[in-house]
Structure 1
Amino acid sequence: MRTLSIGNSFSQDACAYLHRAAASAGVELETVNLYIGGCSLEYHAENLREKRENYSLEINGDSAGRQISIPDALSMGRYDFITLQQASHFSGKRETYVPHIGILAEACRAAQPEAKLMIHETWAYETDSTHGAFPDYGCDQRRMYDLLRAAYREAAESVKAGFIPVGDTIQHFREHVPGFRYPNGGESLCRDGFHLSIPTGRYLASLVWLETLAGIDARNVTFLPDGMDEEKRVLVTEEVHRYLAGRPD
């Protein structure tokens, strides 16, 4: 199985452990991530049109040591899934998705007709985040989440794409799993107020991707990243599976 992510640091977070987590569950998965920090859908579409080789290429969570364009990445063999996402600062603003996501979706399908297009739903900032865009959402995590959730779903429907509910799962942990209620002294799933924490946040994201894309039961993932103990691994894998299995959509 191969995935291509046209993304930024948030797809970098999601893909960091994905290859190793899949391998531990007996699945061979190669991840290809195109990285430009903070890259928006509009800038991705512009880069596509201009065929700019300005993306850092990352394979299986590691730098490949070279720059690449979107067209070149789309021609690097067959992909099973291609993921798109909005830059976090625009994620809750519906008007920033169009027409760019449609342009990208069309190009991806033309180059890789057998690949399934997926929308990677990113997450809201931490409650005390100092990110410069947080005031656009009233510095309110729940408000940001509600807005991005609606925007991502609308975008996925508009291009008839699948959906990877990382943002939903992150918010579930924040609001319903006691050890992750950060305002009450729980663990934050962000390392700097917006990027995912290492290892827990990144691990959680990889589990959501695996259940969604490969149908892997998160409880079968035995990969243990540095800094995580077995008790935490069991808690996270079991709760991710329980939440995803019970989702209505």
Structure 2
Amino acid sequence: MMKIDMLVLKRTYILFGLLLIFSINVFGQNDGNALKLFIIGNSFSQNASTFLPQIAKEKGKTLVIGRAELGGHSLQQHWGYAEKYEANPDDPKGKPYNGKSLNMLLSGDTWDVIAIQQYSYLSGDSSSYLPYAKKLVEYVKKLQPNAQIVIHQTWAYRADAKKFGKIGKDVFAKDQHEMFQKSREAYHKLAKQLDLKILPVGDAFELVANDKKYGYKQDANFNFEHPVPPNLPDQSHSINVGYFWNQKELHFDPNHANDAGKYLGSLIWYSVLFNDLPKNIKFKPASVSDKFSRYLKSAAAKAIHP
């Protein structure tokens, strides 16, 4: 028995050592408690990283985040701005990030991790990724050769969306599930082509969407044809913004994440970047119940370790 226990103990030490090396080497040359993260994206990357600073602070981590994010922007657009700047540094079209270029932002510090993503509406169309992602990654590597580049996998729109993303030329996903499938395929294809790691936020959203208890279901009793303010449909457990009133007009946003969705995304980002488990995170937004937050942490863990 003693020999077996010692063998198990030895293997445990080896595994722990490998995990520690992975955490330090893959995500920056740091001690595991400090990280400089730069994000190239749009509103979806803003959503998914919203609560990342609060989680990092709770866990005693030092986190610096740099951002090149513009609403509704694709890989092609971000690369286009970089091209314009390199062709003519005085061209304002190459400096769309509050008057700065991607070159200027990346060169302003030394970054451990740099995240990229596709515009969600194009995420299911694999042809929209290349050559722009490859050119953008090569550009980033020249400016930050020691940084680890990762892919933020965005999510499919809520099941009751009126329209879903592109999955090919003039072809659109018929529903939430098809948008997820095609998007996931495209992200993993890109990750394989460029040898990059994925932050599986889209997978986590899909797990929640398909959960029998927590998956969002449209309110069959709400009068969508003639809504009366301030009444809203039941949107329990939605992780997307959904329906909301703006003065006396009912608005609908099935795409962006609400606080619960932002929390789910941030759980993924933190857990992967700092090599930690979602269950170890105590922070949660006040708008998310204790019960739902526990479920979201379990969904995040399944997405990271399927």
Q: If the length of structure 2 is used for normalisation, what is the TM-score?
A: 0.72
| Aligned position for 1:29 | 63
| Aligned position for 1:5 | 39
- Shift of residue 234 of structure 1? 2.5
Matched, 1:166 2:201: yes
**4+ runs of 1 displaced by more than 4 Å?**
131-136, 183-186
| Aligned position for 1:193 | 254
* Residue aligned with 1:193, SS: strand
* Residue aligned with 2:207, SS: helix
Work out the percentage of aligned pairs sharing the same amino acid: 28
- Shift of residue 243 of structure 1? 4.3
The CA RMSD over aligned residues, in Å, is 1.9
* Residue aligned with 1:178, SS: coil
| Aligned position for 1:58 | none
The 3 A distance-change label for structure 1 pair 133 and 235 is closer
Counterpart CA distance in 2 for 1:104 and 1:205 is: 24
- Shift of residue 183 of structure 1? 4.5
| Aligned position for 1:91 | 123
The 3 A distance-change label for structure 1 pair 67 and 17 is farther
Matched, 1:214 2:256: no
| Aligned position for 1:143 | 178
Counterpart CA distance in 2 for 1:125 and 1:113 is: 35
Equivalences for residues 1-249 of structure 1 within 5 A: 1-51=35-85, 52-55=94-97, 66-131=98-163, 133=165, 136-176=171-211, 178-183=213-218, 186-191=236-241, 192-197=253-258, 199-245=259-305, 247=306
Paired residues, what number?
Answer: 235
Counterpart CA distance in 2 for 1:131 and 1:29 is: 37
Residue 19 of structure 1 aligns with an amino acid whose one-letter code is P
| Aligned position for 2:247 | none
- Shift of residue 227 of structure 1? 1.4
Gaps (5+ residues) in structure 1? 56-65
Counterpart CA distance in 2 for 1:231 and 1:207 is: 16
Counterpart CA distance in 2 for 1:145 and 1:231 is: 26
